[in-house]
Amino acid sequence: MNTLSWSFLDILLVIALVLLAGAALRARSLRQSIILFIAFGLVTALVWARLRAPDVALAEAAIGAGLTGALLLTALRNRPSEESRLVSNNGMRWGGRWGNVAITVSVSLVALGIGWAVLYGMNDTQSGRLAGQVGSALELSGVSNPVTAVLLNFRAYDTLLELAVLLAALLGILSLGGGRATHCTVDPIATSLRGWLVPLLILTAGYQLWVGAHAPGGAFQAGALLAAAGVVQHLAGRAHAGLPVGAVLRVLMVSGIGIFMTMGLWTFLGGRGFLAYPQRWAGELILLIELFATLAIAVTLILCYLGSEPERRRITPAGSKP
Amino acid sequence: MPDVLMLACVVMAATLVVGLVPMVRSTSSVERMLTAQLLGTNGVGLILLLAQILDMPALVDVALVLALLAVIAVVAFTRRSGGSERA
């Protein structure tokens, strides 16, 4: 009975995933593609939950299903309207038939490669090796959630570089954009939502940050939730989306990578090696790094949403802009 | 008891797939967005059921985050359509 139910559930989820992916690719306008993509993100989160991977499900729910939709819709809004018909029935206009073939072949090859890697990893007799190593060293990491232990301690270097990638992307956006952030209309729905949604989002962000030490959660999820609070603020007519202006904003932008590098250099100069935390303080240091990483990620995502830095002068009352 | 939950899970997944039909076939963005929201609610319920069945309390957090962030997309969407009328 139970195995049968699980197979039914799996088949239904796979059908939903494939249907949505196909529809998103074949939609007549980019706007409809985005809506289908939001639904696709949601079903992906469901699939990760079913596969007993709450960490991935959480990241997908926070970033894939939630914030990316708002980011994409706003990006589309700032494009010339005729461009939203880029996707026609014949596929991408720029690539033509051969372009489509090339894309299909390369994507299929990548998919096959990933499939082979998964199959190889599952059949490999030593596949439990890394998970076992993390498990046996977990007590040394200062946290009890193995994912956080890997991301912020054992492989902290990777997370540092991820923050650097985010910062590089933000610098690219800021150097291209400009003047859009002040364009801000007051949405009555968003204004009434702001009163209760923003505090809830900030509270949940804090909870995610704290819970990351011993359960799924962490800086990226918390940052995405904080960024969502900023997006709501902006939709409700706050042109600066709750962000500070000027130097404070710049400091926040680099704070994640800044605190990471400071820690790294401190442990390095202390003779322990780059980012090798002293074991006694590891938990506190990880929380400190995650706190600033959360702020930096939130600021980065909000600025991605705005497309440029908010204006230096203070906006007086909410929604006074045309 | 777990069997009942599992059955509820399968039924919800089935309604999710049925809900996809208007999502895929509709030509109206508004209809699609509303269906996406319906799927969101359905998904939150499904994840809460899975949290019970798999005995993974962390999945409740996933449902919480999904429920909070589903609102953002719909607000961004309504603002976008309002903006295009004004522009």
Query: In this complex, how many residue pairs, one in chain A and one in chain B, have their CB atoms less than 8 Å apart?
Result: 181
CA distance A51 to A141: 26
**CB–CB contact A31 B29 (8 Å):** yes
Task: Compare CB distances from B24 to A23, A81, A187 and report the shortest one's residue.
Answer: A23
A143 Cβ contact partners less than 8 Å away, ≥ 6 residues apart? A149, A152, A153, A212, A213, A214, A282, A283, A286
CA distance A46 to A17: 10
Nearest chain B residue to A53, by CA: B59
Closest by CA position to A228, among listed B57, B38, B71, B58: B71
Please answer whether residues A204 and A173 qualify as being in contact, where contact means their C-beta atoms are separated by less than 8 angstroms.
no
How high is the pLDDT of residue A245?
Answer: 81
- Domain annotation covers residue B61: yes
**CB–CB contact B58 A16 (8 Å):** no
- Domain annotation covers residue B14: yes
Q: Which of A68-72, A99-103, A292-296, A310-314 has the highest mean pLDDT?
A: A292-296
| Structural domain for B63, as ranges | 2-78
CA distance A194 to chain B (A): 11
Cβ contacts (< 8 Å) between A76 and chain B: which residues?
80
What is the CB neighbour count within 10 angstroms for residue A293? 28
Task: Compare CB distances from B58 to A35, A216, A228 and report the shortest one's residue.
Answer: A216
Q: Tokens representing B57?
A: 């309390």
**CB–CB contact B62 A49 (8 Å):** yes
- Domain annotation covers residue B52: yes
Cβ contacts (< 8 Å) between B4 and chain A: which residues?
none
CA distance A237 to A257: 31
- Domain annotation covers residue B55: yes
How high is the pLDDT of residue B44?
Answer: 93
How high is the pLDDT of residue A129?
Answer: 67
How high is the pLDDT of residue A315?
Answer: 47
Task: Compare CB distances from B50 to A28, A49, A224 and report the shortest one's residue.
Answer: A49
Closest by CA position to A304, among listed A174, A175, A159: A174
Cβ contacts (< 8 Å) between B7 and chain A: which residues?
5
Using the 8-state DSSP alphabet, how is residue A318 labeled?
T
**CB–CB contact B65 A8 (8 Å):** no
CA distance B22 to chain A (A): 11
Q: Residues A203-216: pLDDT tens digits?
A: 999 999 999 888 88
**CB–CB contact B16 A43 (8 Å):** yes
Please indicate whether residue A276 or residue A209 has the higher confidence score (pLDDT): A209
The number of CA neighbours under 13 Å toward the Cβ of A298 is 30
**CB–CB contact A65 B66 (8 Å):** yes
Please answer whether residues B81 and B29 qualify as being in contact, where contact means their C-beta atoms are separated by less than 8 angstroms.
yes
**CB–CB contact A216 B3 (8 Å):** no
Region at A128 (left for phi over 0; alpha for psi -120 to 50; beta for the rest)? alpha
pLDDT at B83 over 50: no
**CB–CB contact B62 A57 (8 Å):** yes
Task: Compare CB distances from A58 to B65, B77, B84 and report the shortest one's residue.
Answer: B65
Please indicate whether residue B55 or residue A317 has the higher confidence score (pLDDT): B55
Please answer whether residues A142 and A276 qualify as being in contact, where contact means their C-beta atoms are separated by less than 8 angstroms.
no
- Domain annotation covers residue B56: yes
What is the CB neighbour count within 10 angstroms for residue A72? 19
- Return the H-helix or E-strand segment holding A47: helix A30-50
pLDDT average, residue stretch A43-64: 90
Write the DSSP assignment of B58-74 as a string of letters.
HHHHHHHHHHHHHHHHH
**CB–CB contact B23 A23 (8 Å):** yes
- Domain annotation covers residue B87: no
Quote the ipTM score.
0.88
Q: Which residue has the tokens 């709501």?
A: A232
Q: Residues B12-53: pLDDT tens digits?
A: 999 999 988 888 887 787 888 888 888 889 999 999 999 999
- Residue A194, Cβ density class (10 Å: 0-12 exposed, 13-18 middle, ≥19 buried): buried
pLDDT at A86 over 60: no
The region of weakest confidence among A14-23, A116-125, A164-173, A306-315 is A306-315
- Domain annotation covers residue B73: yes
Cα-atom radius of gyration of chain B, to the nearest Å?
16
The region of weakest confidence among A40-44, A158-162, A254-258, A274-278 is A274-278
Nearest chain A residue to B20, by CA: A16
Q: What mean pLDDT is reported for chain A?
A: 82
Please answer whether residues A274 and A267 qualify as being in contact, where contact means their C-beta atoms are separated by less than 8 angstroms.
yes
* pTM score of the predicted model: 0.82
- Return the H-helix or E-strand segment holding A91: strand A91-92
Cβ contacts (< 8 Å) between B14 and chain A: which residues?
12
- Domain annotation covers residue B34: yes
Nearest chain A residue to B54, by CA: A52
Cβ contacts (< 8 Å) between A211 and chain B: which residues?
61
pLDDT at A2 over 70: yes
Per-residue CA distances from A289 to A184, B61, B72 (Å): 33, 22, 28
Closest by CA position to B50, among listed A225, A48, A1: A48
Bridge partners, residue A91, by sequence:
A88
What is the tally of structural domains in chain B?
1
pLDDT average, residue stretch A129-154: 81
pLDDT at B60 over 90: yes
